Amino acid sequence: MTDPILESVSLSKRFGNFVAVDDVSFSVPEGSFFSILGPSGCGKTTIMRMIAGFLEPTSGDILIRGRSILDVPPNKRPVNMVFQHLALFPMMNIEGNIGYGLRRKGMEKAEIAARVGEVLERIGLPGIGKRKVDELSGGQKQRVAIARCMVMEPDVLLLDEPLGALDLKLREHMKIELKQLQSDFGTTFIYITHDQSEALVMSDQIAVMNQGRFEQIGSGRDLYYRPGTAFVAGFVGEANRWRGKVTRAQGGGLQLTTEAGLVITGADHGRGLRVGEEAEIFVRPEAIRIGHAVSDVAHFSNQMSGSVGSLLFNGAASRAMLRPAGGGDEIEVALPQSGEFSALKRGDEVHIGWEAEQANAFAYDPTAAAATAKASGTGGT
């Protein structure tokens, strides 16, 4: 791996008594797509603004290519930013917008024109230089905003939820396009979002942030399958969750008994939960197998039966909400894509089961529980 292009060392930012960013360290390898994922208000925009130079850290350091940039004013930093609402200059045409930074560098007019033409070509919008900003569609503006930064050939491009204002269809499309642009230009992207699917699709690395701290840094796969904290498990992807007391623990495997008396086996993946501790268990809907007969799920360490409470058809991602026979919250189960359960109706009796390995157990943390509840309430896009 190459040397990190950007490093954050124990970065903190306090506003009065409020700690927005609390001792955050990370490093971003050159040419990678790095996302910071977290609910709104978690401090991710504050980090971004400190890197861009609009805020000064309370303590800690930011280094680019090994050199601190804290003394460098925002207009001199080798960092550019795509703003949430793009912040294109409405008083200039597209050419003026893209050429703005080059003019500031004192580049020759002919050279600027050539560079602008080139970058417009690269973003697939040749010949729109003379148009006005408000004559472009949402997606075109998006690309222009990126092009405006890319002509500056920054070491790092910061993107502050730039897809937030787009409609769903366009957003899906732009996710792919952004990733494409990033690998075309080979520039390091730092991308901020509260939308896990944006982060998962595009990023090489994702930092999950909560209440000013980084919970976990890793690839999308790591976060999804091996969440390091209860917050990550709850925030990234969907999960059924049970809370209860650890009634047995042995070599990574454990047993949890909920208040309702339900017994679930799970794994703590080395987190060392002990008997008597309060814990939470997360199980992904797709980790749960569904069967018509008990025998279909007989080989799983966790088994349950229940009736179909409701069906959520969503093509390949269709779900069933099951009411457990023994009572308790509904369980979300992914329906296999084989079409085997396409005839499933409300009220049908089914059997489910999952491996203890797939049931991630964490020590119960009331603050994380509150934060994920809030995040899934507000940031469920």
- By CB under 8 A, name the binding residues for other proteins: 52-54, 73-76, 79-81, 83-85, 87-92, 100-101, 104-105, 148-149, 152
Write down the least CB distance from residue 51 to other proteins, Å. 11
Q: Which of 47/230 has CB closer to other proteins?
A: 47
Bridge partners (DSSP) listed for residue 157:
80, 189
Q: Which of 76/374 has CB closer to other proteins?
A: 76
Q: Which of 100/224 has CB closer to other proteins?
A: 100
Write down the least CB distance from residue 101 to other proteins, Å. 4
Write down the least CB distance from residue 68 to other proteins, Å. 19
Write down the least CB distance from residue 133 to other proteins, Å. 11
CA angle 376-380-381, nearest 5°? 165
DSSP-derived pairing of the beta strands 33-37 and 205-210: parallel
Write down the least CB distance from residue 66 to other proteins, Å. 22
Write down the least CB distance from residue 158 to other proteins, Å. 9
Q: Which of 75/314 has CB closer to other proteins?
A: 75
Q: Which of 43/53 has CB closer to other proteins?
A: 53
Q: Which of 81/209 has CB closer to other proteins?
A: 81
Is residue 100 within 8 A of residue 148, CB to CB? The reply is yes
CA angle 228-233-239, nearest 5°? 155
Is residue 35 within 8 A of residue 199, CB to CB? The reply is yes
Write down the least CB distance from residue 203 to other proteins, Å. 22
Write down the least CB distance from residue 103 to other proteins, Å. 8
Spatial separation of the C-alpha atoms in residues 60 and 11, rounded to whole Å: 4
Q: Which of 87/312 has CB closer to other proteins?
A: 87
CA angle 75-81-85, nearest 5°? 125
Three-state SS for 347? coil
Q: Which of 54/313 has CB closer to other proteins?
A: 54
Write down the least CB distance from residue 64 to other proteins, Å. 15
Spatial separation of the C-alpha atoms in residues 172 and 163, rounded to whole Å: 9
Spatial separation of the C-alpha atoms in residues 347 and 310, rounded to whole Å: 8
Length of the chain: 381
Q: Which of 87/370 has CB closer to other proteins?
A: 87
Q: Which of 149/350 has CB closer to other proteins?
A: 149
Bridge partners (DSSP) listed for residue 324:
306
DSSP 275-338: TT-EEEEEE-GGG-EEESSGGGGTTSSEEEEEEEEEEE--GGG-EEEEEETT-SS-EEEEPPTT
Place of tokens 């209440």: 211
DSSP 138-196: HHHHHHHHHHHHHTT--SEEEEESTTTTS-HHHHHHHHHHHHHHHHHHT-EEEEEES-H
DSSP 63-95: EETTEE-TTS-GGGSSEEEEBTTB---TTSBHH
Write down the least CB distance from residue 102 to other proteins, Å. 9
